[in-house]
Structures are given as C-alpha cells and as structure tokens.
C-alpha cells in the first residue's frame, strides 16, 4: 500500500464547514445529538436533522446511518457510533474499524465521491488518539483501494495536535512507547 494517496487529505478545521457529498458524525447510539462534533453538526444542520434522526431509531456501536445535510454545506451526514474506550480489551479496535467500514458501505451504496471524517471516538469516548489514528488511516486506505469511484477522503482534525498525530501516523512513523504524552 502506498504511503501517500492523493485522494487522502488531512486538514485542521471544523467539519461543519466542509463541503462534501457527506460528512461523518461521531454520534451516540440514540442519534439524538450530544456534545463535541455531534452537537456542532446538529447545531449547524438545524432541527430537521434531529427530526430525520428520530425516524431512524437506535444505531448500535460500529454501525452507520445516512441522513440529509439540511443547512450544512455537505449534502449528507453519515452518523456512526464509535466505541467507548474501556482499556482496549473489550474489542474496541475492531469496533472502531467497523465504523469506518460501515461508513464506506454507505458511501458505496449511495455513489458518494467525497467524504470527510472527524476523529471518531477520540473525544468524549476516550479512545487514545495515536491508536485511533492508525486504525482510521488503515481503514480509509483500504477503502480507497477498493473504491476507485471515491475521489477524496478528508480527515478533519479539530486541533493542531490532533493533526500532528495523524500526520505522523500517515507518514508511517512508529507509535511512540506510551504514546505522545496525551
Ligand atoms: P466521540 O464521542 O466519538 O469521542 P467527540 O465529538 O467527543 O466524539 O470527539 C471526536 C473528535 O471530534 C474529537 O477529536 C473532537 O476534538 C473532534 N471535534 C469536535 N468538534 C469538531 C468539529 N466541529 N469538527 C471536527 N472535529 C471536531
């Protein structure tokens, strides 16, 4: 697998401002909005997003659901529910990988060409950023290889620090012993 894929981009910013066929929401299983990126997406999209989410029922960890984007610049929102970090011994890595796989299954099904992800599970859900970054980039690269119709995947990191961690992971730098101190 090539180290850099021109269809994969890391940026720092606010995902609610991103124009794409879909942005991904790190949702909770009730799909009713919440804190972090979920709250920001619901605020920017408006009430209609919540109303559509209410028709969908619950979304189990690792699965994904698609809605319209309403007032967002993005056409769709793909809501996925990441695992809550519980120390790493409860299948969290597999569940996080499944989030990315579930999102790309919807991207394929709906013929979407551009998609933007936040760093799923690394906020309130507490997944260590280093570890999550490696799973995210591995799954995104695998999907890009499998889906030539996807033109661009952007990972939108909220802080310069998050961007730096992902940049190192993308460059293939080894995971530091004990993490980078956070
Ligand atoms: P989770 O519950 O899956 O951990 P959070 O929303 O708490 O979800 O955090 C996921 C990541 O999204 C964190 O790295 C957080 O800094 C980031 N984030 C928060 N707001 C935004 C935003 N507007 N755009 C992009 N990323 C965001």
- State the average pLDDT over residues 49-65: 98
Ligand 1 neighbourhood includes 166 CB (under 6 angstroms): no
* Phi, then psi, of 99 in degrees rounded to 5: -55, -50
Whole-angstrom distance, CA of residue 148 vs CA of residue 33: 32
Mean pLDDT, range 41-53, rounded to an integer: 98
Position 5 scores a pLDDT of: 74
- Determine what percent of the chain is predicted with pLDDT higher than 70: 95
**33 CB near ligand 1 (under 6 Å):** no
Q: 137-152 pLDDT, tens per residue?
A: 999 999 999 999 999 9
Nearest ligand 1 atom to alpha carbon 122? 4
Spatial distance between the Cα atoms of 18 and 101, rounded to a whole number of angstroms: 21
Fold for the domain defined by 8-170: 3.40.220
- Residue 61 CA to ligand 1 centre (angstroms): 16
Looking at residue 3, its pLDDT comes to 44
For ligand 1, whether the C-beta of 26 sits within 6 Å is: yes
Q: Where are the domains of the chain?
A: 8-170
């Amino acid at each position: 697998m090539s180290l850099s894929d021109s269809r994969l981009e890391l940026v720092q910013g606010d995902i609610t401002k991103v124009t794409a066929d879909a942005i991904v929401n790190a949702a909770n299983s009730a799909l009713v909005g919440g804190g972090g990126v979920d709250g920001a997406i619901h605020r920017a999209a408006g009430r209609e997003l919540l109303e559509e989410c209410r028709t969908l029922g619950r979304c189990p960890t690792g699965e994904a659901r698609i809605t319209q984007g309403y007032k967002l610049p993005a056409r769709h929102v793909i809501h996925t529910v990441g695992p809550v970090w519980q120390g790493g011994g409860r299948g969290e890595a597999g569940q996080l990988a499944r989030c990315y796989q579930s999102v790309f299954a919807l991207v394929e099904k709906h013929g979407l060409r551009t998609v933007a992800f936040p760093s799923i599970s690394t906020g309130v859900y507490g997944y260590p950023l280093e570890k999550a970054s490696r799973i995210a980039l591995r799954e995104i690269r695998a999907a890009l290889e499998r889906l030539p119709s996807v033109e661009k995947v952007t990972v939108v990191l909220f802080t310069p620090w998050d961007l730096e961690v992902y940049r190192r992971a993308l460059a293939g730098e080894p995971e530091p012993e004990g993490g980078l101190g956070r």
